[in-house]
């Protein structure tokens, strides 16, 4: 008999799963929607991090992935005693994103229009991460209307979507590809 960990438990076969703490909920529960969307975001960040880029960006993206896992864990916790044992996303984490945004913005042309995603795979992956992050933020706000969640998570997600937008612009500039601006047609 093998002591190997089995990934399947069969506990979710009837449409339920457990929160961190053991409470059983439907798989479409608001908490599951939020941390499932954050998991999706984390996967896209991994895809983005696999693109050719400066090691600094890879390191920042890896740190972001770790913060996303913290947010997922905190949103999955259904009891205070479990929350107390989990790491936090802090205001310093938000400030670190703001610093990165400010540094990446140096030398970029001022925006006069909306930007259409595309031009290079790395740029497009930034925009996918941005939009999934915005969805996670919307779902987190909805969750916060029903359950108490750490406000810093909401702030971090808001800043994180800004980070991905500016990272996409930075890659457009650094890769010397055209930034496609949206022009209204009348």
Residue-range domain boundaries for the chain:
17-106+114-174
Contact 20, 33 (CB under 8 A): no
Find residue 24's DSSP bridge partners.
18
For the stretch 7-54, pLDDT in tens is 777 666 666 656 566 666 555 667 778 988 999 999 999 999 999 999
User: What pTM value is reported for the model?
Assistant: 0.88
For the stretch 160-169, pLDDT in tens is 999 999 999 9
Residue 97, phi then psi, degrees to nearest 5: -65, -45
CB atoms within 10 A of CB 109: 10
Please check the confidence at residue 90 and state whether its pLDDT lies above 70: yes
For the stretch 121-153, pLDDT in tens is 999 999 999 999 999 999 999 999 998 889 999
Q: What kind of architecture, by CATH, is found in domain 17-106+114-174?
A: Up-down Bundle (1.20)
């Amino acid at each position: 008999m093998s002591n190997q960990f089995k990934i399947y438990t069969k506990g979710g076969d009837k449409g339920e799963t457990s929160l961190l703490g053991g409470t059983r909920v439907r798989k479409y529960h608001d908490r599951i929607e939020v941390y499932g969307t954050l998991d999706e975001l984390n996967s896209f960040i991994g895809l983005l991090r696999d693109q050719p880029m400066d090691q600094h960006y890879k390191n920042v993206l890896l740190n972001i992935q770790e913060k996303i896992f913290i947010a997922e864990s905190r949103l999955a916790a259904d009891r205070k005693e479990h929350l107390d044992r989990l790491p936090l996303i802090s205001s310093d984490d938000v400030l670190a994103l703001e610093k990165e945004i400010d540094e990446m913005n140096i030398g970029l042309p001022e925006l006069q229009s909306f930007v259409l995603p595309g031009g290079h795979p790395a740029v497009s992956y930034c925009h996918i991460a941005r939009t999934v992050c915005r969805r996670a933020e919307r779902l987190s706000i909805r969750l916060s209307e029903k359950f108490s969640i750490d406000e810093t998570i909401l702030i971090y997600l808001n800043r994180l979507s800004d980070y991905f937008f500016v990272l996409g612009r930075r890659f457009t500039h650094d890769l010397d590809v055209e930034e496609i601006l949206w022009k209204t047609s009348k």
